[in-house]
Structure 1
């Protein structure tokens, strides 16, 4: 059997950890379960990651990196409002397409917040920095200026609305979420229309009402020092 390169094996273990965390939570994500999910001997996991703390630190870095990649891929290089809308749509679709990753993010952020509230903001800081840099670059390319306060508010609105959408999606797991995505984007459009002055605001789209939920009635420091505080017991 061909030997799997160490970097590839590490990534397989990180991917397996995301799946196990999504299914069993952080407390249930034992190294044995993670190794079994990756199809690797437990000794291999301990060879790749000297401790569970290092593995979970790598999972955090992986998720922050994926979040950044999704935002960059969703950059439509338009004016401020058009770009912001593109970033939001990209995030919402990513959550829908990757429910295991979304579940793991919710689990990890909640758990990390209990470990160390100040440093648990690493993933959010990464996302907010990426949103800011994209908006500043696209504003300049479009001949616009965006003040610091508006920039901060836009980054905040994008992350808050996207997080709320993700949690709702994880609860109900509806299929064919286009109406819900359009409705959520409509909230962003309304905020931008009311708050962006000369920021290239887009016309609010005509959105369909969200479908009733099943069973319902009709009608965020960098990650460099992460492993120094992670304590998984």
Structure 2
């Protein structure tokens, strides 16, 4: 098996262990056992457990954002694209709640472990990067400028999605959660400023 394939297998095994048993129990030995590999392979593929955890964060983030990117690349006006992307995000939450719970566990784990704090900072920097990318893509496709700075909107959107997801993990009230997302879409539309002037 190529080194790239081994890395992919270990990342997948790490996510399965974390979803099933929690982040604290996802030791290197537990991960290689899940992947059916000897312990030495782990150290061949990753410099540290922290590097693997960063790859897990990236994988979970990219997985949830890929569908949203595809939605924005499709047809429809700004309102429908925003609504559809939030719907797609929510479908991902309900289909893979364990992965989203792992995301929160990784944050708290990193903040509690000396030397791992940077992992949490990179995790949320990645979230903001994705949100900023989607907001700028939405503005470009609709030919508008946001009435608030994109970094602020990205942080706002991340805070809303974090809150509604965590709340749903606790009470599993899908109806109310979707109503919150609809309210968020409506609020974002009020921040869609004047059309971008055409050049010339």
TM (norm. structure 2) is 0.77
TM-superposed CA distance for 1:25, in Å, is 2.8
Match of 1:104 among 87, 102, 105: 102
CA distance in 2, matches of 1:8, 1:142: 40
Tell me the equivalent position of 2:191: 196
Tell me the equivalent position of 1:209: none
CA distance in 1, matches of 2:194, 2:17: 43
> Does the 8 A contact of 1:71 with 1:130 survive in 2?
no
CA RMSD of aligned residues (A): 2.8
Tell me the equivalent position of 2:86: 88
Tell me the equivalent position of 1:182: 178
CA distance in 1, matches of 2:26, 2:119: 21
TM (norm. structure 1) is 0.68
CA distance in 2, matches of 1:110, 1:74: 31
> Does the 8 A contact of 2:146 with 2:191 survive in 1?
no
What whole-Å deviation, never above 9, does each CA across 1:19-74 have from its counterpart, x for those lacking one? 22233333211111111222222232233224323322322332343344243133
> Does the 8 A contact of 1:78 with 1:138 survive in 2?
no
- Residues 50/134 of structure 1: CA separation in 2 closer, same or farther (3 Å cut): closer
TM-superposed CA distance for 1:153, in Å, is 4.2
Please list, as runs of the form range in 1=range in 2, the aligned pairs for 1:208-219 lying within 5 A after superposition. none
TM-superposed CA distance for 1:173, in Å, is 4.7
Structure showing greater relative contact order (alpha-carbon pairs closer than 8 Å, 6 or more residues apart) = 1
Tell me the equivalent position of 2:53: 56
TM-superposed CA distance for 1:78, in Å, is 4.4
Please list, as runs of the form range in 1=range in 2, the aligned pairs for 1:146-157 lying within 5 A after superposition. 146-147=146-147, 149-157=148-156
SS of aligned partner of 1:12: helix
What whole-Å deviation, never above 9, does each CA across 1:202-229 have from its counterpart, x for those lacking one? xxxxxxxxxxxxxxxxxxxxxxxxxxxx
Greater mean alpha carbon deviation, residues 72-81 or residues 92-101: 72-81
> Does the 8 A contact of 1:91 with 1:162 survive in 2?
no
Query: Any gaps of 5 or more consecutive residues in structure 1?
Result: 201-233
Number of matched pairs = 192
Quick check: which one's helix share is greater? 2
SS of aligned partner of 2:22: helix
